Structure 1
Amino acid sequence: MKIDGSFLMFQYIILYCLNNLNGERSVANIYYLLKGKKSTQTIQDSYLYNLTEFFGVYRSIARSNFNRVIDELAELNYISISGKAFATVNHEGQQNLAQLDSEFQNTYFKGMTYEKHAPQFLATFILLIQTVTNLHIKKSRFIPVIDNGSIQTNVKNFLQNKPLDMSVLLRDIYDDLRQIFSTASFPDFSIDIFVDYLTSANEIGLSQQQIALKYNISKEDVHFHLFNIIHYILEQMKLAPAKYKVLPYMSNQRQDLSLTDSAMVTYNYYGKGYSIKEIAGTRDLKESTVQDHIVEIAYVGEVKWSDHMSDEEYSMIKKALVQTNTKQLKTLKELLPDFITYFQIKLVIALWHKND
């Protein structure tokens, strides 16, 4: 890993996350965030610390590579490690973060929205480009670079539903990409990396490792550059699909709530008017587990605080949040009367964050 190279998006993301966590969560939380771990804690923390953009943006990241960059950041004196589990960004790290921010301020990650769809879209796009460029030169037999059966079916269905001349289709794809790239300010070489990754009839795309060697960056940086572009494309398809000719027909986006599977089941019961006690009994769960689900739902769905506490309790919790400016539950609990529960505190934090 070339941590001292000229492209440091991975370093920037780690420092950004650590800075937001402010020592209140362990370093491992960032690893789980990037992996998109479907746990109540990880999902809640991503909202709580304004890190939803990075949720699930690197689902295949190796723990050893993640740990290596943490160690090197510590060696560079950018972060201070405490107890091997927690880290804070120190003065040198803040200066480096500010410098990196000028280079990577134009990132368009929307991990909580696209973490599932982005890898599929990228694979579909890669195979589509390979297929169309081959068909354009009347070459119908070739070895697909994507061997995923469902992706191959997606491309086949797409071409059947959009029966255009291949030269017209290539031109339309080019026009879509040109328009998208003209509306964004991607970090240096991002578009070059994206193009190098594509396979055409005449040239096999480079692997992420080969691209890393070509540009003297880490393999992790290559991944982030690629998915930064993909997330931006998907967002543009959602915001203004009529502006583009081809790409919106590839996206097939479903807007699912970002909940754990278990919380989704609770969400269905909760929406039907079941109480926490009734849901716990029906699902054979602890009430505290259902309460965690309700907090998780509060970040993305409709939950009324008045169903779970009095006006007085709500006001006391909000006052404690303002006074302490912390998200540490233990600190907040110590400031509040014993009758106020952790569940109530977490719920107010979630609702306050969503409305902030």
Structure 2
Amino acid sequence: MSFDDILLNIISRLDGERYKHAAFHLMKGKRSGQTLQDTEYYGLHPFFGMLPSLHAKDFDLAYRRLLASGLITEKEDGTVFLSEAGKMRAAALEPVRLNGWVYRGMEQLFFARLALTVQTVSHLSAGDRTFMPVSADPSVQRVVRNLFATVVRGMNPKEIAVEIRNGLESTGMEDARLSRFLARLSGKGMSGMTWHQLSELSGLSEMDLKVEYVETLHIWLDVISEQQTPLLVALSQGVRAESPLTGSAKKTDELYRAGMGMEEIAERRNLKMSTIEDHFVEIAINDPAFPLRKFAAQEDIEDVRSEAARLGTRKLSVLKKSFPGLSYFQLRLILARLGKEDGSDGHDNPGKPGQPAETGHRI
């Protein structure tokens, strides 16, 4: 799927309720309360943090292309929605096989380890023990060094190559795509291709190649977690998010579970109350047992649910007009639980090896 199609897919899920920058922050994996809420509200988990290094320039170019093509339109207030042509295009898109919410950019760590392992094996098998490593990250070098002292020890270069090749082939991805992915790796007498070089060779844009590369890593990592092959499992250690909560929200959650109130937590952590509120919304999104009734009356919860369904919106500014007696924090908490309590977790099914993912989201 192209970068433009990814952006169109995201806008189709936001469905006229957000500004364009909501999609930008989502793809970069911004840990703000708003972006995390949007991820849950609109089923945007596949795209979260998929391109942490995305430049505003590249995003704006794609956005302007969608505008110029008539696939999207901006309302007077700046919110974005699909045109009729955009709806037709979105409906024809292939299922998404990204898994951004699970990996959150950490797939790059897996690739760095893989690239250094391949490079090291290539040089050592040629009798060359002195070379410039493709990764200067000390943590990556340390992991690979440990691998060669444990998992890789006793494996010959052919066995390593077979495990990597079989792992990639078992994903069911097409050969041309796998060739482009492997072209990024370096070895003895062979440097990995830059995005520019690969773009010239393949005819694909650099942004489309980056999207393909990330999706390829997500698909492969999902397969690795099922197959449990020794080298690949070792290379992928720690790349999946251990907790759905961000680090700071997790600390707030621990203090709340220990019996502290919001004000006490804010004072203990020396954080603004608005930040603590963001944490509580994040906790409400991810904890099925979150005690929502401690923060809002059951009658208010049901009324907000009904009004959101009647108006067909989850925009706080709209719902606040209907419920002036509720704080924005209470509304955010209630909205955070809507999808969970309706029995939908908002995640796409990442699919099985060799099969496309399925999505139940309207696009």
Q: Give per-residue Cα distances to partners, 1:216-261, cap 9 Å, x unaligned.
A: 22111111111101112222233x243x242111111254334444
Match of 2:315 among 306, 328, 333: 328
Summarize the alignment of residues 21-32 of structure 1 with structure 2, pairs less than 5 Å apart: 21-32=14-25
Contact 1:173/1:245 (<8 A) preserved: no
Identity of aligned residues (%): 26
Q: Give per-residue Cα distances to partners, 1:313-356, cap 9 Å, x unaligned.
A: 222222222222211112222233x3333222221221122342
Contact 2:29/2:48 (<8 A) preserved: yes
Q: How far has the Cα of 1:58 moved from its partner?
A: 0.7
The match for 1:135 is 124
Tell me, in whole angstroms, the C-alpha distance in 1 between the residues paired with 2:282 and 2:19: 20
Contact 2:10/2:44 (<8 A) preserved: yes
The match for 2:353 is none
Contact 1:133/1:170 (<8 A) preserved: no
Matched, 1:315 2:308: no
Matched, 1:177 2:163: no
Total equivalences in the alignment: 338
Contact 2:12/2:90 (<8 A) preserved: no
The match for 1:345 is 331
Contact 1:193/1:225 (<8 A) preserved: no
Q: In the alignment, residue 336 of structure 2 is paired with which amino acid? A: A
Unaligned runs of 5+ in 2: 345-363
Task: State the secondary structure of the residue aligned to 1:67.
Answer: helix
The match for 1:267 is 253
The match for 1:5 is none
Matched, 1:36 2:29: yes
Q: 1:326 to 1:201 in 2, by over 3 A?
A: same
Match of 2:56 among 57, 63, 73: 63
Q: In the alignment, residue 131 of structure 2 is paired with which amino acid? A: F
Q: Give per-residue Cα distances to partners, 1:15-72, cap 9 Å, x unaligned.
A: 0111111221110111111111121111111111111211111111111111111112
Task: State the secondary structure of the residue aligned to 1:80.
Answer: strand
The match for 1:247 is 232
Contact 1:55/1:115 (<8 A) preserved: yes
Tell me, in whole angstroms, the C-alpha distance in 1 between the residues paired with 2:221 and 2:294: 37
Task: State the secondary structure of the residue aligned to 1:88.
Answer: strand
Tell me, in whole angstroms, the C-alpha distance in 2 between the residues paired with 1:343 and 1:84: 23
The match for 1:3 is none
Moved more, 218-227 or 109-118: 109-118
Task: State the secondary structure of the residue aligned to 1:192.
Answer: helix
Q: How far has the Cα of 1:265 moved from its partner?
A: 2.8
Structure having greater relative contact order (Cα 8 Å, sep ≥ 6) = 2
Task: State the secondary structure of the residue aligned to 1:313.
Answer: helix
Task: State the secondary structure of the residue aligned to 1:37.
Answer: coil
Match of 1:47 among 31, 34, 40: 40
Contact 2:167/2:224 (<8 A) preserved: no
Summarize the alignment of residues 113-192 of structure 1 with structure 2, pairs less than 5 Å apart: 113-162=102-151, 163=153, 164-179=155-170, 181-182=171-172, 185=173, 189-192=176-179
Contact 2:47/2:101 (<8 A) preserved: yes
Q: Give per-residue Cα distances to partners, 1:89-134, cap 9 Å, x unaligned.
A: 11122223234x14xx2x3211121014211111111111121122
Q: In the alignment, residue 212 of structure 2 is paired with which amino acid? A: H
Q: In the alignment, residue 280 of structure 1 is paired with which amino acid? A: A
Q: In the alignment, residue 183 of structure 2 is paired with which amino acid? A: D
The match for 1:4 is none
Contact 2:97/2:219 (<8 A) preserved: yes
Q: How far has the Cα of 1:173 moved from its partner?
A: 2.3
Matched, 1:108 2:93: no
Counting helix residues as a fraction of each chain, which structure ranks higher? 1
Q: Give per-residue Cα distances to partners, 1:156-201, cap 9 Å, x unaligned.
A: 111111202222222222222222x23xx56x84222112212232
